[in-house]
Amino acid sequence: MNKKEKRSAHDLLQIFPSVFKIDEKLATLNSYPGNTVYGERLIDIEEKEYRMWDPFRSKLAGAIKKGLRSSGIKKGDSVLYLGAASGTTSSHISDIVGKSGIVYCVEFSERPLRDLIGVCEIRDNMVPILGDARKPQEYKKYIEGKVDFIYQDVAQPDQMRIFKINSDMYLKDGGEGFICIKSQSIDVTKSSKQVYKSSLKELKDYGFTIIQEIELSPYDLNHLFVHVKK
């Protein structure tokens, strides 16, 4: 059980919808007060509860720390999350979309999925899906209509193509996405810069507009975080 701290409103600075800084550290407004997901600290400020968000454990938090200009995801959005693992980042996205939004969490490995299911039992705006992101038609039955946003963190050699096929099937026209490009999963024989360049070209060739690209060091090495629009 986490020991809760209390702070004053002077310590709180809002940077995006439901995303705050408390003493320069990131936090999301907890949509499910009293619950933690990965042992993060909880802080009370004027009757609201905030969950601290570690940029070394979540690439979206790392991207925000490194200057992401728009959180992209808004309250009420539907989000398709590919590579959810045990739910660390997707739980913060669940805070951002709030109870009027939904996060479809696709994960193909059974071990992290077990922990993810535990998170989704409490966070009822998260839907756990055992599925392979390379076969988007297989989880069609779980997803209602098209989504506003796709978040992808699958660390696979064909990750641009995986994003494209999921976007074709599920992303609204004008919808946006975040893609975590792990250069070493794509080609270890090339430098990270070469891999980023060819990956960005592939995304543009698929017709996506690149809104922003952020190198994630020191939070994650050999990773480029890319914000795109369909």
Ligand X SMILES: C[S@@+](CC[C@H](N)C(=O)[O-])C[C@H]1O[C@@H](n2cnc3c(N)ncnc32)[C@H](O)[C@@H]1O
B/e letters for 220-230, b = 16+ CB within 10 Å, e = fewer, are bebbbbbbbeb
Q: What is the CA radius of gyration of the chain?
A: 17
Residue 106 as a binder of ligand X (CB under 6 A): the answer is: yes
Between 76 and 157, CB nearer to ligand X = 157
Min dist. Cβ of residue 116 to ligand X (A): 9
Q: Which of 112, 142, 211, 215 binds ligand X (CB under 6 A)?
A: 112
Residue 107 as a binder of ligand X (CB under 6 A): the answer is: yes
**Cα–Cα distance between 192 and 222 in angstroms, integer?**
6
* HSE of 133, CA atoms in CB hemisphere, 13 A: 28
182, β-bridge pairs: 223
How wide is the angle at C-alpha 100 spanned by C-alphas 98 and 147, nearest 5°? 95
Residue 127 as a binder of ligand X (CB under 6 A): the answer is: no
Between 131 and 175, CB nearer to ligand X = 131
Min dist. Cβ of residue 155 to ligand X (A): 5
Residue 88 as a binder of ligand X (CB under 6 A): the answer is: yes
Residue 95 as a binder of ligand X (CB under 6 A): the answer is: no
Residue 118 as a binder of ligand X (CB under 6 A): the answer is: no
Query: How many of the chain's residues bind ligand X (CB under 6 A)?
Result: 18
**Cα–Cα distance between 141 and 129 in angstroms, integer?**
10
Residue number with the smallest Cβ distance to ligand X: 83
Between 12 and 139, CB nearer to ligand X = 139
Spell out the alpha helix ranges (H) of the chain: 59-65, 88-97, 110-122, 159-170, 183-186, 192-205
Q: Which residues bind ligand X (CB under 6 A)?
A: 58-59, 83, 85, 88-89, 106-109, 112, 132-134, 153-156
